Amino acid sequence: MDPKTALRSLSAAPRTIEALTRGMNDAKLRKKPDAKNWSAHELLALLRCCADLWAKFIARCSRRIHRHCVTSRRAVS
């Protein structure tokens, strides 16, 4: 997946989370199925955090790749 596609996908995460949890009350989101498993609220918070971190990482990589390509083109010219 190219960086632009990845960034678009990650930026859609909040809308996807909202759609999946629409109509669920706080008690339902925070209820753990059992002692060993996370609640939907905990899982969604983790996914959102990961999406934010990956978006920053991909953006940084994309900028580095762009700078490298620009520098390489100048060296060839």
Domain count, the chain: 1
Three-class SS of the chain: CCHHHHHHHHHCHHHHHHHHHCCCCHHHHHCCCCCCCCCHHHHHHHHHHHHHHHHHHHHHHHHHHHHHHHHHHHHHC
The residue range of the domain holding 30 is: 3-76
| 40-72 residue pLDDT tens | 999 988 887 887 777 788 788 878 877 777 666
Q: Which residue has the tokens 């629409």?
A: 22
**Quick one: average pLDDT of 22-37?**
95
pLDDT at 75: 60
Radius of gyration over every alpha carbon of the chain, rounded to an integer in angstroms: 19
Closest by Cα among 44, 11, 48 to 26: 44
